[in-house]
Structure 1
Amino acid sequence: MRKDIEIPEVKDVFVAVVQEQHPEYKTDDWNAYIINNKDVDLDTVLIVSNGYSEKKITPTMRHTIKLLPARSYAKIEFMQNDVLELNNEFKVTFFEGNQMLDKSYLFRKNTINTKALQSIPLMQLKGVLVK
């Protein structure tokens, strides 16, 4: 029965959008990262992302990370300034041991900006974080 199905809560896995200077072009770029703040590795991390509003929708992007070690992070994608005006959703699915977990992370439109910067775990950088 439905009441017997246990859906575990995802803890200590985050998505952050960080503003970084591009080394070659010297531009301030926004990049999305996945952060594994757990003491265990994550296997086969699948990330599906897209941006949307009432009038616009971006193409769906799909990313795979074979292994995301404990207490580490990985870049997901570059985010153009135009998509910051949209809701940006990242659906993350991964294996922790033999258990599959998933969670959606939503950055509401216009919340990715320099006024919303905060310290990001493990990265020693400032960005916008969704837990």
Structure 2
Amino acid sequence: MKKDIEIPKVEGVYIAVVNEYNDLYKTQDWNAYIINDKDVDLEMVIIVTSGYSKDKATSIFRKKIDTLPAKSYAKIELMQEDLFALNNQFQVTFFKGNTMFDKTYLFRKNTINLKALQAIPLMDVKGVLVK
């Protein structure tokens, strides 16, 4: 029966952690975003995030986005710098039409830092990207 289950490959959907200025609090913050670089809308997007190491684990955070339009992005969460010493996992599930897609994005410990910044698709900012 397992051979009959088709799991489609996720392409054009990314997770980025961006270092940006917060006008309200006058601080530099790290924020996680989901990016839809596809030409179609994503429906019922569910994101489950957690951080972990051998001896530590964060609580689980869940976010739902009803529709993520084509060629757009949405903020997932503010990330504290203390979390970067952990592996940070983002499990993303969404529908495109009647097909369900699922992918786990992993930022390995200490990979989110100012030296790792690169151009982020669609956002005109620099950050750390996982495809």
What is the TM-score of this pair, normalised by structure 2?
Answer: 0.98
**Cα deviation code 1:3-42 (max 9, x no counterpart):** 2322110000000000001112221110000000000000
Question: How far apart, CA to CA, are the structure 2 residues paired with 1:127 and 1:89?
Answer: 16
Tell me the equivalent position of 1:65. 65
> Is residue 28 of structure 2 the alignment partner of residue 38 of structure 1?
no
Q: What 5-or-longer segments of structure 2 have no aligned partner?
A: none
> Match of 1:76, SS?
strand
- Paired residues in the alignment total 131
Tell me the equivalent position of 1:16. 16
Tell me the equivalent position of 1:111. 111
Tell me the equivalent position of 1:2. 2
Question: How far apart, CA to CA, are the structure 1 residues paired with 2:63 and 2:2?
Answer: 31
**Cα deviation code 1:22-81 (max 9, x no counterpart):** 112221110000000000000000000000111110000000000000000000000001
Q: What 5-or-longer segments of structure 1 have no aligned partner?
A: none
Deviating runs (4+, > 4 A) in structure 1?
A: none
**Structure 1 stretch displaced more, 67-76 or 22-31:** 22-31
What is the TM-score of this pair, normalised by structure 1?
Answer: 0.98
